[in-house]
Structure formats: C-alpha cells, structure tokens
Chain A
Amino acid sequence: MKIIAVGSEAVVYEKNNTIIKRRVRKNYRIKEIDEKLRKNRSKAEFNIMRFLYESGLNVPKPLKYLEEKKEIWMEKIEGKRLAEEFSVNSASDIGMVVAEMHNLGIIHGDLTTANMIKKDKKLYIIDFGLSYHSSKDEDFASDIFLFKNALKSKHNDLYKEAYYSFLHAYKSKIRKEFKGIDTHLKDIEERRRYNESY
C-alpha cells in the first residue's frame, strides 16, 4: 500500500490499482465533531459517487465503503491532475462535465483543477467529499463561483479566458435556463463582504 496523496482531510492510498481514500482523525477537533463529520462525509461521498458512476458521468468507479475505517475504495484513474497541466482548452471540457453533473442534480462543492484528471482525452472529476444533492439555481451558482475563484487563485494568468470558455461550454450543456443561475451568480458576488460595486 503506498500513499499517493495527503489532502487536507484524507489520505489517499493505492493498492493493486485500487484507490483507498481514508478520512483521517483530526486532532484539533473534539471527537464528537470529528467522528460525525468523517462518517457522514465518507458515506455521502460514496453514495454520490455511486450515483454519478451509474448515471454514466466520468468519475472513478466506487468499489466499497468501510464505515469503521472511514474508507472509500475506488477504481484508479490513470492520468495527470489538471492543476499540473491546465490549458484554456480544458476549461471548456470542464464546463461540459460540470453541466452534466448539475443536470444529474449533484453539486460538487470543491471544484478546483486539482480535483480533475485527464485520461485518454476524457475529463474525470474526483473528490466528492463536499458534494451534495441539489437542483437549485443558487447551488449551481455556488459551484460555478467556487470554480471561478479556484481559477483565479491557481491559474491567474489564464483566468479570464478560461472562465469564459468554461461558461460558454456550461451554458451549451445545462438543461436549466441559465438566466436563473446567472442571477444567483451575481448575487453571490455582491453578497460577499466589501464589494465596492455598490
């Protein structure tokens, strides 16, 4: 078993082409908070992955969930994280996949290029640790807003172009009317503290 990633809340291991994601105990949190968060998040994550996989979205195939250890076992996706080789072209692929995911009523909750893998020209989304079910315009908007900020902080040089092509692709694929989502998108931005536009 080898460690392939240490994220902020989980350690990811690899064993015979299987990826094991274990939510580790956080010593800074009291047990009452920690146990519950880890259990609920792992279970929810596994269920969402299974739902998306069965619906045909490009996500790793979930294999099993071990509650006691807070472990999710899934199939390995060979490929590079998009954060390492990001380009404006891939932004449009991201827009497509995110729209498909939203069409299925899933909000990712942590859309960053570190949570995307490219394999055989197909884009896979991983890490559903903060995902939840919703088909509300507002929640769609919050996912888009998170991704926009992630672009800004990680790929600042390409940010404007990349966001534009992401949005263009997203709009072409999303089954809801984009106008409603866009209203919320503007609203979120304005709701933040210290917005100088008004």
Chain B
Amino acid sequence: MYTLGIESTAHTFGIGISDNDKIIANERDTLRPSSGGIIPREAAMHHFKFAPEILKRALDKSGLKLKDIDLFAFSQGPGIIPALKVGAQLSAFLSKKYGKKLIGVNHCIAHLEIARLYTKLSDPVMLYVSGGNTQIITYYNGTYIVFGETQDIGVGNLIDKIGRKLDIPFPAGPKIEELAKKSRHYIEMPYSIKGMDVSFSGIETFISKLIGREKTEDIAFSLQETVFSMLIEASERAMAYCLKNSLVITGGVAANKRLNEMGEKMCKDRNAAFKAIPMEFAGDNGAMIAYTGYLMKDYKQKDLAIRPRFRTDTVEIKYR
C-alpha cells in the first residue's frame, strides 16, 4: 500500500511516501528566516511556494504517479495555523481528486512511530525535543501518555531565543553547541524540574541577565549542561516509573551530540538501550506522516480539520 504523507506544522514542508512500512521517498524544504523567528504567514507562503516542487521530487524519487497512491495522510497538529492549513488543503484536494482515503495524523505520534521503525526498539520512552515541543512520551494502556513535558516553552525555542540575544541566526542549536565545546566553566543556572515536568522560562530570564557579563562560550556550555541534564533526568524518571528499558531521542534538538551523549550514558548506567535515529527522520519530515498514516489506515475519522493544539494523549492507538 502506497501512502503519501504531508508535513507542514511549522517551518518545514515535507512530503514522504511509504510502501507499507518501507519509506521510499522523503523530501522537504525548511524555511530559514534571515532574522527573528518564524512568522506564521511567512511559513505558509513558503509551504505554498515549495509544495509543487517537493511533491514532484517525492514522486520522482519513488517512481510513482499520483494515481498510484492508495492513501493520503497529513499532519493535523499541533502546529502553527497558517502552516497547518497548507498541508491540510493540499492533502484534502489530492484525496478528493484521486478518490482515496485521507488520514489526519498527530505530529508528535508520527515522530514516535518513525523512531520505533528506524531504531527497532519496540517500546521505548521517547524524548521529543524540538523548537515547539518538549515531551517525554511513552506507551501506556492504549495511548501514548505524555509523561513529562515543558510547562512553558520548548527547549529548541529556548535555545533559539538565547541565540537571538547572542546574535546567532535561527536555528541557533548548532552554533550554541559549537560554542559550548570551547568552554568548561559552569555558571550555575536555575535547574527547574517539577515532578516529571520541566520549565525553561526561568532559565531564559536568568541568561538574559548574563549576556554581556559572562563569556558567550560559558553561557552556551552552562545552558546546554543545565537543560540537557533536566531533560535526561526527566527521561530517566519516566523509564524507572513505567519500567521501560529503552530511550529514543527525536526532534530537531536530537541533532545535538552532547544531548545524545548524556542519553547514552544514562541508559548505559541503567542497562537500558539507547538509540539515535537518523537525522533525516529526527527533524520534521513527511515520511513519518506517511508511515503513521499507513498504520492508521483503518481508522474512521470524522473530523479532518486542522488541530493546532492537538494533544498527544488524546489519540486512541488501535494498531498496537
């Protein structure tokens, strides 16, 4: 069964095609604002502009024509409204035109499913860290439970905000990581973990006051060490509590080597498995939407409108 999935929740527009559980195409383009963060309207305009090209590239890569596609899927949420609408409209149009079923997919669950597919870990705890999202998700009693999450902003967003104050362009992650490598001087920062949840806004305020007074390298180093320690600690708590013995890190921030190293060490010390997923499938991508759409092929969904605040734990998982 060929499934075509469209991802458009934030700054990435992606189209992936799966042949049952095999990914045969995964094309995308990401908006990189020259200054500041994502402006919703600009994200949507970017997606409109690139949609035809990405669609063509994905079809070429798979060697298929649109009429060969058996199922269409799109990222229903959570995400930015104008950006979400692009994927929703395009997929609805294609599904209608070719008379094929349309499936709405939860973006966060799609991250988890593609992670399971590529790591072959059947039941991991997932630390999902990106610009907008910071969640620790695990499967429990028929749903994906959000075991811990940010109480305010996503960790990637925190890094980007600090980056902006340090004149580092979006996305700031790679540059912050590079700077952090040059330092070994730790500046004590608020370590804010509340039960299973984490909170970052206090750190943002704290760091704002350090800028100009401390070395940029030291700020980058201390920022990474503090927030990643919090995330790995929360992940470990979820693993201990739910008796899970593997961890996957995904989302854009999963590209950070230090975060992976910390995850790996934590897992090693508790005899758990740790696997990184290929970066192509860690950031937002269309393949994960196609694959999750395929898993959900028998779902009967009444509401296929976009859901900007779509919570992970409201989806009933019937295919596991």
Q: Please list the residues of chain A having a beta carbon within 8 angstroms of any beta carbon in chain B.
A: 6-9, 26-30, 32-33, 36-37, 109-112, 114, 130, 142, 146, 149, 152-154, 156-157, 191-196
Could you tell me the distance between the alpha carbons of A157 and B141 in the complex, rounded to whole angstroms? 8
Interface residues of B (CB under 8 A from A): 77-78, 132-133, 140-143, 145, 147, 149-151, 186, 188, 191, 193-196, 225-226, 229, 232-233, 236-237, 239-242, 261-263, 265-266, 269-270, 307-312, 314
22 sample A-B contacts, Cβ–Cβ < 8 Å, listed by A number: A6-B240, A6-B270, A9-B236, A28-B265, A28-B269, A29-B229, A32-B186, A33-B229, A36-B188, A110-B195, A111-B195, A114-B241, A153-B147, A153-B241, A154-B140, A156-B141, A156-B142, A194-B308, A194-B309, A194-B312, A195-B311, A196-B310
- Roughly how many angstroms separate A153 CA and B142 CA in the complex, as a whole number? 10
Of residues B147, B242, B309, B310, which shows the largest number of chain A Cβ atoms within 10 Å of its Cβ?
A: B309
- A178 CB to closest chain B CB (Å) equals 21
Q: Are A28 and B194 in contact (CB under 8 A)?
A: no
Closest CB in chain B relative to A14 CB, distance in Å: 19
Q: B229 touching A130 by the CB < 8 A rule?
A: no
Task: Give every chain B residue within 8 A of A36 (Cβ-Cβ).
Answer: 188
Q: Are A28 and B229 within 8 A (Cβ)?
A: yes
State the main secondary structure of chain A at its contact with B. Answer: loop
In addition to A33-B186, A130-B195, A156-B141, 5 A-B residue pairs with Cβ atoms within 8 Å of each other are A27-B265, A28-B269, A110-B195, A142-B195, A196-B311
B309–A196 CB distance below 8 A: yes
CB distance from B196 to the nearest CB of A (A): 7
A192 partner residues in chain B, CB cutoff 8 A: 149, 151
Give every chain B residue within 8 A of A33 (Cβ-Cβ). 186, 191, 225-226, 229
Bound CA–CA A9/B233 (angstroms): 8
Contacts of A142 on B, CB cut-off 8 Å? 194-195
Q: Output the least CB separation between A171 and chain B (Å).
A: 22
- In the assembled complex, the Cα of A32 lies from the Cα of B191 at a distance in Å of 12
Query: What's the minimum C-beta distance from A136 to chain B, rounded to whole angstroms?
Result: 14
A146 adjacent to B310 (CB under 8 Å): no
Q: Is the CB of A8 within 8 A of B140?
A: no
A110 to B237, CA, bound (A): 10
Other-chain residue from A109, A114, A194 in contact with B194 (beta carbon distance below 8 A): A109
CA distance A152 to B148 in the complex (A): 13
Q: Is the CB of A8 within 8 A of B151?
A: no
How far apart are the CA atoms of A156 and B145 in the complex, in Å? Answer: 10
Q: What are the nearest 7 A-B pairs in CB distance? A: A8-B240, A28-B262, A194-B309, A28-B265, A156-B141, A32-B186, A146-B195
Q: In this complex, what residue of A is CB-closest to B148? A: A149
* Cα–Cα, bound, A194→B76 (Å): 13
Which residue of chain A has the shortest Cβ distance to B184 in the bound complex?
A30
Decide if A8 touches B239 in the complex (CB within 8 Å). Answer: yes
Residue ID in chain B nearest A7 by CB atoms: B240
Among B78, B143, B188, point to the contact of A193 (Cβ < 8 A): B78
State whether A194 and B310 are in contact (beta carbons under 8 Å apart), knowing that A8-B233, A109-B194 are contacts in the complex: yes
Question: A37-B191, A192-B151 are known contacts. Are A28 and B196 too (CB-CB below 8 A)?
Answer: no
Contact of B232 among A28, A32, A146, A196 (CB under 8 A): A28
Give every chain A residue within 8 A of B229 (Cβ-Cβ): 26, 28-30, 33
- Return chain A residues, CB-CB under 8 Å to B314: 196
Chain A residues near B266 (CB-CB < 8 A): 26-28
> Across the two chains, which residue of chain A brings its CB closest to B271?
A6
Closest chain B residue to A30, Cβ basis? B225
Write out the residue numbers on chain A whose beta carbons fall within 8 Å of the beta carbon of B151.
191-192
